[in-house]
Amino acid sequence: MMGHPMGRTMDPESHEELMTLCSWHSSKDLVGFMQGMQDVNMNMKKYREKVSQNVAAVWDYYLGLAGDLWDVRDSGKHVHDEIRIEAK
């Protein structure tokens, strides 16, 4: 007859104590795992915020650079218009 090996080798009190200990360890491990996952989520959130701040900073830099180049182009265009007017 097949029976549970722990049930045959241990008295009921020891078996229950062992099962309680196992369930305590399992719940402790689960809580630890959940805490670890919360830490990972917080770190990922901080990382995403930092990346988005960096992307925004780079984007602002290049928009400013493009605006400066546009201003230079426009000011050069006005200079050329003035030269053409003077040449006539």
Considering the entire predicted model, what is its pTM? Answer: 0.40
What's residue 74's pLDDT? Answer: 66
Q: What does DSSP assign to residue 1?
A: -
User: On the CB side of 49, how many CA atoms lie within 13 Å of its CA?
Assistant: 6
Name the band, by pLDDT with cuts 50, 70 and 90, for residue 34: confident
What's residue 16's pLDDT? Answer: 73
What's residue 47's pLDDT? Answer: 92
CB neighbour burial string for 42-72, b if at least 16 within 10 angstroms, e if fewer: eeeeeeeeeeeeeeeeeeeeeeeeeeeeeee
Decide if 15 contacts 7 (C-beta within 8 A): yes
Q: Which residue has the higher pLDDT, 71 or 85?
A: 71
Residue with tokens 């201003």: 71
pLDDT at 1 over 50: no
In a domain, 81, yes or no: yes
Number of domains in the chain: 1
Contacts of 17 (CB under 8 A, 6+ apart): none
In a domain, 15, yes or no: no
Mean pLDDT over each residue of the chain, to the nearest integer: 74
In a domain, 77, yes or no: yes
Give the residue numbers spanning the domain of 83.
50-88
